[in-house]
Amino acid sequence: MNGMPLHIGWNDIALRLALTVVAGLLIGHNRTEHGKAAGMRTTLLTCLASSIAMIQMNLLLPTAGRSPDSFIMNDLMRLPLGILTGVGFIGGGVILRRHDIVVGVTTAATLLYVTVIGLCLGAGQLELGAAATALGLIALWVLEWVEQRMRRERRASLSMQLEGGSLDEDRIARMLESAGIEVLQTRRTISGPGARREIEFDLSEFCRPDKKQTPPICQALAREDGVVKL
């Protein structure tokens, strides 16, 4: 089972397809659980398509090559290469860009990954396919748990309108930095007869992804004397 024999029976084919279904369902469950467009059915069908292509390639091995009196030669590697090319188009279709946010990259990578798993299982490399399935599950479930607990950079902008009061740009920057927020850039304009000032800060903060609430420093700045709008 470690190589690709010239002749395979239905027992081998059934075993390869059964393991392919298990691998596709296990990895597809993760995508469905997270509400992805390419869920369990898409993942399973992609995995099966690549596995069946390799089984077909295995069945055609005895007919590979060409006879001395023929100009036609079977290039069996076109089957798996064609599957990989097709999955590349599918993967490109699930990647979406919304303003500065790109989504669907993990789903596209998962489709490519299950394709390779299917190629392994369809070719009879059962141990390699099983190991690849286990590593894929670790990447999708265990590493997701790790990522959710890692601090990452989050960028935002803070716009303030000031009129009177003692609050100035330098003091605001010090308050933000003391709260663990880095000021990347500052823009300032003055308009109106009352010398109303508008200051906009580009900010950066390292925090966990599950931190959704507005930083307390924003409420503290809103209570400062002279702040018209924040």
pLDDT tens digits, 125-141: 999 999 999 999 999 88
The pLDDT assigned to 191 comes to: 63
Is the pLDDT at 192 greater than 50? The verdict is: yes
Quote the radius of gyration of the chain (alpha carbons, Å).
Answer: 29
State pLDDT tens for residues 31-60. 888 888 778 898 999 999 999 988 888 887
Report the alpha-carbon distance of residue 218 to residue 207 in Å, rounded: 16
Its pTM stands at 0.67
The pLDDT assigned to 60 comes to: 77
- Percentage of the chain modeled with pLDDT above 70: 86
Averaged pLDDT score across all residues of the chain:
82
Q: Which of residues 68 and 82 earns the better pLDDT score?
A: 82
Report the alpha-carbon distance of residue 5 to residue 76 in Å, rounded: 14
The pLDDT assigned to 67 comes to: 59
Is the pLDDT at 99 greater than 70? The verdict is: no
- Cβ proximity of 111 and 94 under 8 Å: yes
> What is the edge-to-edge ordering of all strands in the sheet holding 152-162?
182-191, 196-207, 152-162, 227-229
- Where are the chain's structural domains? 10-147, 152-229
Report the alpha-carbon distance of residue 74 to residue 56 in Å, rounded: 13
Is the pLDDT at 79 greater than 80? The verdict is: no
Report the alpha-carbon distance of residue 108 to residue 34 in Å, rounded: 14
Per-residue pLDDT band at 114 (split at 50, 70, 90):
very high
Strands 96-98, 152-162: pairing is: unpaired
The pLDDT assigned to 136 comes to: 92
- Cβ proximity of 96 and 102 under 8 Å: yes
Three-state SS across 67-134?
CCCCCCCECCCHHHHHHHHHHHHHHHHHCEEECCEEECHHHHHHHHHHHHHHHHHHCCCHHHHHHHHH
Q: The domain 152-229: what is its CATH number?
A: 3.30.70.260
Q: How far is CA 150 from the centre of its chain?
A: 16
Least trusted range by pLDDT, from 23-37, 63-77, 123-137:
63-77
The pLDDT assigned to 19 comes to: 94
Q: How far is CA 13 from CA 119, 122, 123, 128, 209, in A?
A: 13, 8, 10, 17, 45
